[in-house]
Chain A
């Protein structure tokens, strides 16, 4: 089981990094979120993966035997929610930015950096 997780995580992070390094803004934010999804698996795997039994003490028993670790599941739920919020924000941001700037190429996004027509002196900004 742990090997399947490791493999999926590795592939996920590799695909995410590949996308995140793209100049296409849309691919970039989706890539970041794919890395996030792969790392959520890491959080999940940080407990044990060897059991799927619910962590409930049976009636009459005093100790819990062979149960799944519930804490990473709670953590990963939080991480998924946060990652989802960030993905939504970034998608809206990228769509608005692509419309406003009329480009989806990261290299052509220079509005916050004024055009530099002098090699030595720093540019003068309008605002």
Chain B
């Protein structure tokens, strides 16, 4: 039952917020109450999965016939990090730094998106996974189009059109895999797929992987992400960055590392090269831009490449690296986006050419940015270092020297982008000589970003339990058949 609790709590909170529409204070209270309950559920789930995978089959139909939900270490940890980032986004929303317009549709959609993500993390049924992807997508579309300006609607249309292609391919892949194996349950699919000849399995698993690559914004399918994310207000952008593409990456890890882990080697090889291209093209796109939101949006793409690299390595150590990197990236990327919003509020613009002088005006903000940015680059002793270490070490251990070398090189280019923000926003004087930092309510924003930066620092200084947990989680993947 504990398996379903996070999902049910998020859905109930979303519904309660819908019912409380028109009464903002009640809605706000319900939202925080639901989020606190969700946090408790997620923590309880994380402790509960230590004894092994929790499973619940709905309607008393024994698996593989009933729709099954399952929580192993990977699912439970992803739920917890997603809920944490939901709390961070809603906490940041209380400040004056680029908040989302607080009308009655905001909270139901945010909680709906959390419910969709939790559902995708916890389900053990392929068609159910498709349904949760849809719930997440529809809530994301709603959040993006809320203000209904031309700019928002145009970005939403681009986001919609390219994501729906992914959705349709996902549906086709689910149908074909059902036709091939006769099952939708993850364990049953895995058992049936092991009996299928690899060359017959290849087109089916490839179609599924392509659909999920579109959802995860991997090369060459990532065009929807930089075309749409920059119109979002900061808390929502942080939430999108933490949840949406990561649900795709999680699903890829689940499919290739667990359900169809017997897929032919060529699929993993292709994924590895796509990962390399994703890293490089994302980071080069970021190097071109001067708008902080666009820089960070391209970095989302680039970081997805690292997760794909871990999945493509197809070993427990690779999967552990991918997981560690996902947790690290959800926190750090969200933190960077939120810090960019504080910069916007103080200095007046997202474009780096129009701002500056923040190092002398707000030295603590500079420290905060530096910690988070260096965590993203992967400088020790911050969380990104360990994530990259796990992935690069495993690449070289498997003889994939090119993949490992590119992963290191992309780190340098990431440092270039972060140094650009540092130089332009913090070091150089503000282009307007009369500029004074704007007065605004920023305390919640500082609290949230400081907590995220401390998380990155804490995990970086004391990584042992997290790496051990990722290792355990990776070893238990595919262990049920």
Within 8 A of A (CB), among B162-177: 164-165, 167-168, 171-172, 174-176
Chain A residues in the interface with B (C-beta under 8 A): 20, 25, 28-29, 32, 35-36, 39-40, 42-43, 45-47, 71-72, 75, 78-79, 82, 85-86, 89-90, 93-94, 96-97, 100-101, 109, 111-113, 121-122, 124-125, 127
| B350 sits at the interface (CB 8 A) | yes
B175 touches A112 (CB 8 A): no
Within 8 A of A (CB), among B138-176: 138, 141, 145, 148-158, 160-161, 164-165, 167-168, 171-172, 174-176
B148 touches A43 (CB 8 A): no
Q: Which chain A residues lie closer than 8 Å to B160 at the CB level?
A: 29, 86, 89-90, 93
Q: Which chain B residues lie closer than 8 Å to A25 at the CB level?
A: 157
B290 partner, pick from A71, A109, A122, beta carbons under 8 A: A122
A111 touches B179 (CB 8 A): no
| B47 sits at the interface (CB 8 A) | no
Q: When A82-B131, A86-B138, A112-B227 are in contact, do A93 and B153 touch as well, CB less than 8 Å?
A: yes
B179 touches A101 (CB 8 A): no
Q: Which chain A residues lie closer than 8 Å to B176 at the CB level?
A: 42, 46
A85 touches B157 (CB 8 A): no
Q: Output the least CB separation between B298 and chain A (Å).
A: 11
A112 touches B154 (CB 8 A): yes
Within 8 A of A (CB), among B222-239: 227-228, 230-231
A118 to B294, CA, bound (A): 18
Q: When A35-B168, A112-B151 are in contact, do A46 and B179 touch as well, CB less than 8 Å?
A: yes
Interface residue SS majority, chain B: helix
B135's closest neighbor in chain A, by CB? A82
Query: What are 20 residue pairs bridging A and B, where the CB atoms are less than 8 Å apart in the complex?
Result: A20-B161, A32-B161, A32-B164, A32-B168, A36-B164, A39-B168, A42-B175, A43-B171, A43-B174, A46-B176, A75-B174, A75-B175, A86-B167, A89-B138, A93-B160, A97-B150, A101-B154, A112-B158, A122-B291, A125-B291
Interface residue SS majority, chain A: helix
A39 partner, pick from B134, B175, B290, B350, beta carbons under 8 A: B175
Q: Output the least CB separation between B201 and chain A (Å).
A: 16
| B386 sits at the interface (CB 8 A) | no
B161 touches A28 (CB 8 A): yes
Please, what's the 1-or-0 string for B336-360, where 1 marks a CB less than 8 Å from any CB in chain A?
A: 0000000000000011011000000
Size of the chain B interface, CB-CB below 8 angstroms? 44
| B268 sits at the interface (CB 8 A) | no
A90 to B354, CA, bound (A): 36
B171 partner, pick from A39, A45, A85, beta carbons under 8 A: A39
A32 partner, pick from B145, B165, B175, beta carbons under 8 A: B165
A11 to B228, CA, bound (A): 32
B178's closest neighbor in chain A, by CB? A46
A32 to B230, CA, bound (A): 25
B161 touches A29 (CB 8 A): yes
Within 8 A of A (CB), among B199-254: 227-228, 230-231
A111 to B131, CA, bound (A): 32
Q: Which chain B residues lie closer than 8 Å to A39 at the CB level?
A: 168, 171-172, 175
Q: Output the least CB separation between A120 and chain B (Å).
A: 10
